[in-house]
A and B are shown apart, each in its own frame.
Chain A
Amino acid sequence: MTKYRVSHTTTYRYGEPVTVSHNVLHLAPANTPRQRVESFTLDITPAPAVQHTRADYFGNRVDCFTVQDQHHQLIVRAESVLDVEPAFALDAHVTGAWEQMRDHLHHPQGDDEVLASEYRFDSPMVPTGPEYAAYAAESFTPGRALLDAALDLVHRINTGFVYDQKATMVTTTVPEVFVKRRGVCQDFAHFGIACLRSLGLAARYVSGYLETQPPPGQPKLVGVDASHAWMSLWCPGIGWIGLDPTNDCLASDRHLIVAVGRDFTDISPTKGVILGGGTHEVHAVVDVSRI
C-alpha cells in the first residue's frame, strides 16, 4: 500500500472585478476498492457565499460554490491524502473474445452492466464513427481476447501519436486529434474511447493524478505538474480496467483516480461561469508526493 499527498491549487486573476462566480469542482479523489481517501480539504479565497458537496450522476464527489463578493482574484486549494493498493496482476489473454464481450453488453444483465452500457454511446466530446472503428480494427482482429486487443490499441496510440503540449487545447475535438496525431493525455484518452465505442464497447474517461517522480528503478512517467487523464474499458465479468495510452500501460498504483465520466466535459477538474472579469488568466499547480 502506498500513501500519497496531493495538492492542487488553481489561481484565477481578472483584469476587471468579478461580481458573481459560480463554480463546479471535481477535485476530491474517489474512494474505490483499491483507493481510500484519508482526508480532503478545500480552501477557497475569497470565501464562498454558497457551498455544497454532492455526488454527481456518475458517482463522483462534486464541490459546488458561489462567490458573491466582488473580487479580482480567486484561489482554489485542494489537498488530499490517500492510500492506494497495488493493482491485481491481469493476464490479458484470459478475457473472452472481444466480439463476445461486445454482444454481451448489448443485452446487459444486472444493474452494473446496465449502467456500464451507458458508456457505449457518443458523448459531447467523443463521437463514434466508421473511421475510428477502422483504426481500432487493426488491433481488434476477429476472436482476439478483449484486453489483449485493447492493450495493442493503447500501444499503437502511444507510438503513433506525438505527445505535444502545444498542439491542442482543452476544447480540441477527436477528429482534429486524429488528423494531427498529436496531443496530450486528454486527447489520447478521448481518441482511444472513440475507437473502443465505435466497436460497440463501453469505455469511459478517467480524470486523476499521476505520480511522476519514479520510485527507484522505475521509469519516469509523462504528465508533469498537472492533472492526468486516461481511459477505462468495461470487461464483462471483471469490471472496469484502466488503460493509459499516454504511458502505454495499464493504470497502476501510481494512477490516482479523482473522477470518471463519459469525457472531459462531465468531470472537468474546475469549471465556472463568472459575471464581469474582463481579461483573465488561470494558473494551476499540482504536486503529488509519497509520504
Chain B
Amino acid sequence: MVIRQGVHDARLTLARQPLTCQLVMDAPGDLDLVNAPAVAGAYDELRDRAQVRPQWQTLNDYLRRLGARGMGLRYEQARRLIRENGVTYNVYGDAHGLDRPWQLDPLPLMLSAAEWDGLARGIAQRARLVETVIADAYGTQRLLKEGGLDPALLFAHPAFLRACHGIQPPGGRWLHFYAADLVRGTDGAWRVLADRTQAPAGAGYALENRIVLSRALSDGYRQCGVQRLAGFFIAMRRTLSVLASRLKTRQDNPRIVLLTPGPYNETYFEHAYLARYLGYTLVEGGDLTVRDDQVFLKTLGGLHRVDVILRRLDDDFCDPLELRNDSTLGVAGLAAAARAGNVVIANALGSGIGENAALMPSLPRLCRLLFNEDLTLPAVETLWGGDAAGRLRERFDDLVIRPAFGSVRAPARRGGELDGEERERMLMRLNTLPHTLVGQVAQAPSITPVWSEGTFATRSLVLRVFAVASDDGGYCVMPGGLARIANENQPWAVSFQRGGGSKDTWVLADGPVAPVTLLRPSGAPVEFKRGGSDLPSRVADNLYWLGRYGARAEDAARVLRAALTRLAGDQEVGTDQGLQTALRVLKHQGVLSKPASDSATLEAQLLDLLFSEAISFSLRSVVGRLHYAAFSSRDRLSYDTWRIINHLDQDLSPDVKPERAIDALPLLDRLVLDLAAFAGMTTENTTRGPGWRFLDLGRRLERATFTAELVRGALVPRVDETALDAVLEIADSAITYRARYLLSLQVPPVVDLLLCDSTNPRSMAFQFERIADHVAALPRAPQALPTPAERLALGAYTWVRLVDPQELSREDETGERSHLAHVLDHLSSDLTLLSDTVTTQYLSHATTTRQPSVGPE
C-alpha cells in the first residue's frame, strides 16, 4: 500500500454559486451526439436506430450550442475542480506513490423518469429481499431448515459471522445501505452483476460528481431538469437519527460517527467527504472504546457516548475480541455492545453475507416465497456449482468463472480465456469443491458516449445504484448513481482499481424539480452551537504535528535559503561568515554534521538537505510528514488550506530538483511564501476550538525550539556583523532590527529581539506567552493548582521576560558566550519536557493488544 494524499471537500459552498461565465457565442454546430461512434452488438444508451433517444435530446441541444471548444473549456473546468478539491481514489500498489485523481467524464448518462421509476422499484425490492435473507441467517435460519435455501449458501460463506448470530439490531434493520452494480443487456433490460451489502462505497463519489458537473455544465444541467440527489442523503440522516432515538440508552442529541479504516483505504477521500457533508465525526477504531457494553468516543475532554456507527470498515475487522482477532482497525467489545442493543451499526455486523453470487439464482424463488412477488430486478444469468455443477461444466468456456463467495475484486474472466494451468485448477475445483464457484453469462454491457480528446468516443458502462433504509421499513433509492466506464483497452473490466473512469447519472424529472438540499434545511429550528466538540485525541495529535511540521519546514527553508544564497555569491566558502553561521546552525541542529569545505561538495550537500527523501530531516521529508499529518485530519481542514498543502508538495517534487544552488533559490522563495500562506490560513481561518489550540501549540513549540537552536548555534562564538545579519535574516527580524537600531549590528540587541521581546512574533518570549495561554485553556480536571505543563510554560515565559540581555550576551575569558549557551540548553530541555508532558496528558494512546492465549496440549 502507498500513502495517499488528497484533498478535502467543502465543495458544498461551490454548488451554491453556479458558475456565471456564460458562453456568449453563436452555436458553432460542430458537435452533435448523433455522430458519436456506434458499436455493434451492444445496447446503445444514446440512440435507437440512429435516432437520439428522447432523454438525451435536451442535453444534445445544449452540446450543439456549446460546440467542441466550449465543451473543451467545460471539461477543463471540471478537471480543475476535481484536482483542486483533491478528489482521489487510492489505487492499491500504485507505483507512483500518489493519489490517483478521480476520473470524471463530462457527459452524464441520461435516464428517463419512466424508466427510472421501474428500476428504482426493482432496486428497493431487491434490497428488501436481501435484507430478509440476512436477517433470517442471523436469526431463526427458517429458510435453511424449511428448505428455502441450500444450507451451503450460508455455511460455506466466509462472511457469515457466527458471533453475530442472535444479535437483534435496533429497528430490525440489518441492511441500512445497499448498492448494486447493474449492466444493461442487448435487450435493453438492466440486470444485477453484484450486490453490495458490506459497506457499499460510491455514494459520496456520486455526490461529488454531481456537484462538479452541475457547476461545470450549469446551464445544461438546469435545462435538462434533473432529479436531485440530496433527498437520498436526507433520508440517510433521518433513518440513522430515528434508529438512534429508539435505543434504550438514547440521548437527546444522538452522536453519530463515521468509522473509517483510515487514510490508507482506497476510498478514504469519500469517508472524509461524507462525514463532512452529513455532519458526522470521522473516527478510526482507535478513537472508540467500549465500557459497560456501550461505545464511547475518546475526546480531549473525556469519553462521549456514541449512538450510531456508520461503518466503512468491513464487519469482520470491527471487533478484535469476537471477530477477526488480528484486526488492528476495530473496537474491542463492539459486538457485545451491539448484542446489548446499545448501538446502531450501519450496516449491521454480519451484513457481508448478502454479497453472495451463489445466492443470485435462488432470489427469484425466494422473492415469491417471502413476498409473494416477482423479482423485478434479476441478476445476470448465474449458475452455482453447488446445485448446477453439471451445467456449469458444460458451459465452462463461455461463462465468467468467479468465486461464489467473497472477493468481488477477483478478475472476471471467461473459462475459455483462462490459461491452461488456471483452467485445470478451476475445473478440478469444480469437481472437488463445486459450491465455491459460480459461472455468470458474460453480458456485453451497454455503450454510451464519452468525451475524449476533444470529441465523442464510445465506451461500455456499469451503473452502481444506491439505496438507503427508510424509516417506514423499506428503501429510498438515490435517483442517479455512479456510472463507471471501461478503460479503453479493457472493455470487459470495468473497475476503478484497473483505471476506468466515472460518470454522473442524470435522471430526468417528470415535472419541475423541487430544490432539495442538505445545506439549507428549512423550517426546523436549529440549535446554535459554538466552539468545537468531539475532537478525538487522535485528530488533536495530528493537528499538533501539523503545526510542528509547518513551522519546522519554514524554519528549515529559511536556514537553507540563507546558506544557498551565500554559496551562490562570489565569496570563498571558508571566509563568508554569513554562510559559516548558517552552517553552524545546521550543525548544531544535527542536520549537517560535517559541512564540506569546498563549494561544489557543499552545494550538493545542501541540495540533498532540500530534496533527498532518504534524509529524514530534509525539507522534502518534513513536507512529506506535514502532508501526511494534514491528510489524516483532512476532514478538519478548509479547502483553501488543502490547496496550499498541495502546492507545497508540488514545490518540492523530485521533477524540479535543480543542479545548482542558484536555481534552487526561486524555489525556496516560493516555498517560504507557501509556508507563510499555510501559517496565515491556519491563523485566520481556523475556529478557535481545541483543534486550533493544538495546531498552534505545535507551531509555537517548534518555533521556540528552533529559535533556541538558532541563537545557540550562531551566537555563542564571537561573531562579526555578517553573521548577525544572517541570524536576523533567518529569524525574519531584520526589518524590525534596522528600524530600531539602524546599522549598528551588535549581539545584545539581537539577543533581546530573538529571546526576550514579546512584541516580536519570532521571539521565544512571544512563543512562550502563546504556549502558556494554550496549555491553560486545554481541558483538565477542575483543580486549583496549575498543571505541570502550565508550570513549565509560565516558568519559561517569566524567565525570558526578566533576563537581562546585556548580561546574557557577555563573553567569558575564552571569548565564548557560555552563559548564553547554558541558558539556551536549559530552555531547550524545558521545551522537550513540555512537549512530552502535553503529549502524555492529552495525546498518547495506550495500544490495544491481544491477551496472550494458552492452547490445549
Q: Which positions in A face B, CB cutoff 8 Å?
A: 10, 12, 19-24, 49-50, 52, 54, 56-58, 64, 66, 68, 108, 111, 114, 117-118, 120-122, 128, 130, 133, 165, 169-170, 184-186, 198, 207, 223-224, 226-229, 262, 264-266, 268-277, 280-284
B17 CB–A CB distance under 8 Å: no
Find chain A residues with CB under 8 A from B291 CB: 20, 49, 66, 68
Find chain A residues with CB under 8 A from B855 CB: 169-170, 184, 186, 264, 268
The CA-CA distance from A227 to B849 in the complex, in Å, is 24
| Of B145, B162, B321, B853, the contact of A22 (CB 8 Å cutoff) | B321
The CA-CA distance from A57 to B350 in the complex, in Å, is 13
Find chain B residues with CB under 8 A from A56 CB: 162-163
Question: Which among A57, A64, A121, A130 has the highest number of chain B CB atoms within 10 Å?
Answer: A121
Find chain A residues with CB under 8 A from B333 CB: 22, 66, 273
* B186, chain A: closest CB distance, angstroms: 37
Q: Which 5 A-B pairs have the closest CB atoms?
A: A272-B851, A170-B855, A273-B332, A57-B162, A226-B857
The answer to whether A20 touches B289, judged by C-beta atoms less than 8 angstroms apart, is yes
Question: Which of B150-158, B352-360, B508-516 contacts the other chain?
Answer: B150-158
The answer to whether A274 touches B849, judged by C-beta atoms less than 8 angstroms apart, is yes
The CA-CA distance from A121 to B289 in the complex, in Å, is 34
Please give 12 more A-B residue pairs, beta carbons under 8 A apart, in addition to A57-B162, A275-B332: A10-B854, A49-B291, A66-B292, A68-B291, A111-B145, A121-B152, A170-B855, A184-B856, A223-B856, A271-B321, A280-B852, A282-B853
* B595, chain A: closest CB distance, angstroms: 42
B850 CB–A CB distance under 8 Å: yes
B320 CB–A CB distance under 8 Å: yes
Q: Which residue of B lies closest to A264 (CB)?
A: B855
| Of A12, A19, A49, the contact of B292 (CB 8 Å cutoff) | A49
* B167, chain A: closest CB distance, angstroms: 11
The answer to whether B321 touches A108, judged by C-beta atoms less than 8 angstroms apart, is no
Find chain A residues with CB under 8 A from B840 CB: none
The CA-CA distance from A163 to B291 in the complex, in Å, is 42
The CA-CA distance from A122 to B429 in the complex, in Å, is 14
* A214, chain B: closest CB distance, angstroms: 18
Q: Which positions in B face A, CB cutoff 8 Å?
A: 141, 144-145, 151-152, 155-156, 158, 162-163, 165-166, 289-293, 320-322, 325, 332-333, 336, 339, 428, 432-433, 846-857
* A30, chain B: closest CB distance, angstroms: 15
The answer to whether B322 touches A24, judged by C-beta atoms less than 8 angstroms apart, is yes
Question: Quick one: given A58-B162, A273-B851, are A50 and B856 in contact (CB under 8 Å)?
Answer: no
The answer to whether B851 touches A185, judged by C-beta atoms less than 8 angstroms apart, is no
The answer to whether B325 touches A265, judged by C-beta atoms less than 8 angstroms apart, is yes
Q: Which residue of B lies closest to A118 (CB)?
A: B155
Q: Which residue of A lies closest to B166 (CB)?
A: A57
Find chain B residues with CB under 8 A from A12 CB: 851-852
* A102, chain B: closest CB distance, angstroms: 12
Question: Quick one: given A117-B152, A122-B156, are A50 and B292 in contact (CB under 8 Å)?
Answer: yes
| Of A108, A122, A265, A270, the contact of B851 (CB 8 Å cutoff) | A270
Find chain A residues with CB under 8 A from B290 CB: 22, 66
The answer to whether B856 touches A114, judged by C-beta atoms less than 8 angstroms apart, is no
The answer to whether B857 touches A223, judged by C-beta atoms less than 8 angstroms apart, is yes
The answer to whether B846 touches A19, judged by C-beta atoms less than 8 angstroms apart, is yes
Q: Which residue of B lies closest to A74 (CB)?
A: B851
Question: Which among A56, A108, A273 has the highest number of chain B CB atoms within 10 Å?
Answer: A273
The answer to whether A272 touches B321, judged by C-beta atoms less than 8 angstroms apart, is yes
Task: Give 27 CB contacts A-B under 8 Å.
Answer: A20-B289, A20-B332, A22-B332, A22-B333, A22-B336, A24-B322, A68-B291, A68-B292, A114-B151, A117-B152, A118-B151, A121-B156, A184-B855, A185-B857, A223-B856, A227-B856, A228-B857, A271-B853, A272-B850, A273-B321, A273-B332, A273-B851, A274-B849, A275-B332, A280-B849, A280-B852, A282-B851
Find chain A residues with CB under 8 A from B339 CB: 54
Question: Which among B155, B290, B854, B857 has the highest number of chain A CB atoms within 10 Å?
Answer: B857
The CA-CA distance from A226 to B855 in the complex, in Å, is 8
Find chain B residues with CB under 8 A from A68 CB: 291-292
Find chain A residues with CB under 8 A from B336 CB: 22, 52, 64
The answer to whether B293 touches A50, judged by C-beta atoms less than 8 angstroms apart, is yes
The answer to whether A128 touches B332, judged by C-beta atoms less than 8 angstroms apart, is no
* A27, chain B: closest CB distance, angstroms: 12
Find chain B residues with CB under 8 A from A133 CB: 432
The answer to whether B155 touches A120, judged by C-beta atoms less than 8 angstroms apart, is yes
Find chain A residues with CB under 8 A from B428 CB: 130
Question: Quick one: given A22-B332, A121-B156, A128-B433, are A269 and B854 in contact (CB under 8 Å)?
Answer: yes
Find chain A residues with CB under 8 A from B322 CB: 24
The CA-CA distance from A262 to B850 in the complex, in Å, is 21
The CA-CA distance from A45 to B144 in the complex, in Å, is 43
Find chain A residues with CB under 8 A from B155 CB: 117-118, 120-121
The answer to whether B846 touches A276, judged by C-beta atoms less than 8 angstroms apart, is yes
Q: Which residue of B lies closest to A116 (CB)?
A: B151
Find chain A residues with CB under 8 A from B856 CB: 184-186, 207, 223, 226-229, 264, 269
The CA-CA distance from A227 to B357 in the complex, in Å, is 41
Find chain B residues with CB under 8 A from A170 CB: 853-855
* A235, chain B: closest CB distance, angstroms: 18
The CA-CA distance from A141 to B850 in the complex, in Å, is 44
Question: Quick one: given A50-B292, A118-B151, are A266 and B848 in contact (CB under 8 Å)?
Answer: no
* B837, chain A: closest CB distance, angstroms: 19
Find chain A residues with CB under 8 A from B848 CB: 273-275
* A277, chain B: closest CB distance, angstroms: 6
Question: Which among B293, B339, B856 has the highest number of chain A CB atoms within 10 Å?
Answer: B856
Question: Quick one: given A114-B144, A128-B433, A275-B289, are A184 and B151 in contact (CB under 8 Å)?
Answer: no
Find chain A residues with CB under 8 A from B162 CB: 56-58, 262, 266
Find chain A residues with CB under 8 A from B850 CB: 271-274
* B773, chain A: closest CB distance, angstroms: 31
Q: Which residue of A lies closest to B294 (CB)?
A: A50
* A98, chain B: closest CB distance, angstroms: 16
Find chain B residues with CB under 8 A from A165 CB: 857
Find chain B residues with CB under 8 A from A52 CB: 336
Q: Which residue of A lies closest to B162 (CB)?
A: A57
Find chain A residues with CB under 8 A from B293 CB: 50
The CA-CA distance from A108 to B852 in the complex, in Å, is 39
The CA-CA distance from A186 to B165 in the complex, in Å, is 26
The answer to whether A273 touches B320, judged by C-beta atoms less than 8 angstroms apart, is yes
The CA-CA distance from A128 to B155 in the complex, in Å, is 14
The answer to whether A282 touches B852, judged by C-beta atoms less than 8 angstroms apart, is yes
* A145, chain B: closest CB distance, angstroms: 23
Question: Which among A56, A224, A266, A283 has the highest number of chain B CB atoms within 10 Å?
Answer: A56
* A73, chain B: closest CB distance, angstroms: 13
Q: Which residue of B lies closest to A281 (CB)?
A: B852
Q: Which residue of A lies closest to B320 (CB)?
A: A273
The answer to whether A274 touches B851, judged by C-beta atoms less than 8 angstroms apart, is yes
The CA-CA distance from A7 to B361 in the complex, in Å, is 52
Find chain A residues with CB under 8 A from B852 CB: 12, 280-282
Find chain A residues with CB under 8 A from B321 CB: 22, 24, 271-273
Question: Which among A49, A118, A266 has the highest number of chain B CB atoms within 10 Å?
Answer: A118
The CA-CA distance from A128 to B289 in the complex, in Å, is 37
Find chain B residues with CB under 8 A from A184 CB: 855-857
Find chain B residues with CB under 8 A from A262 CB: 162
Find chain B residues with CB under 8 A from A271 CB: 321, 325, 850-851, 853
* B502, chain A: closest CB distance, angstroms: 36
Q: Which residue of B lies closest to A19 (CB)?
A: B846
* A185, chain B: closest CB distance, angstroms: 5
Q: Which residue of B lies closest to A172 (CB)?
A: B855
Find chain B residues with CB under 8 A from A108 CB: 151
* B316, chain A: closest CB distance, angstroms: 10
The CA-CA distance from A61 to B293 in the complex, in Å, is 19
The CA-CA distance from A232 to B771 in the complex, in Å, is 67
The CA-CA distance from A50 to B336 in the complex, in Å, is 11
* A68, chain B: closest CB distance, angstroms: 6
* B336, chain A: closest CB distance, angstroms: 6
* B104, chain A: closest CB distance, angstroms: 41
The answer to whether A275 touches B846, judged by C-beta atoms less than 8 angstroms apart, is yes
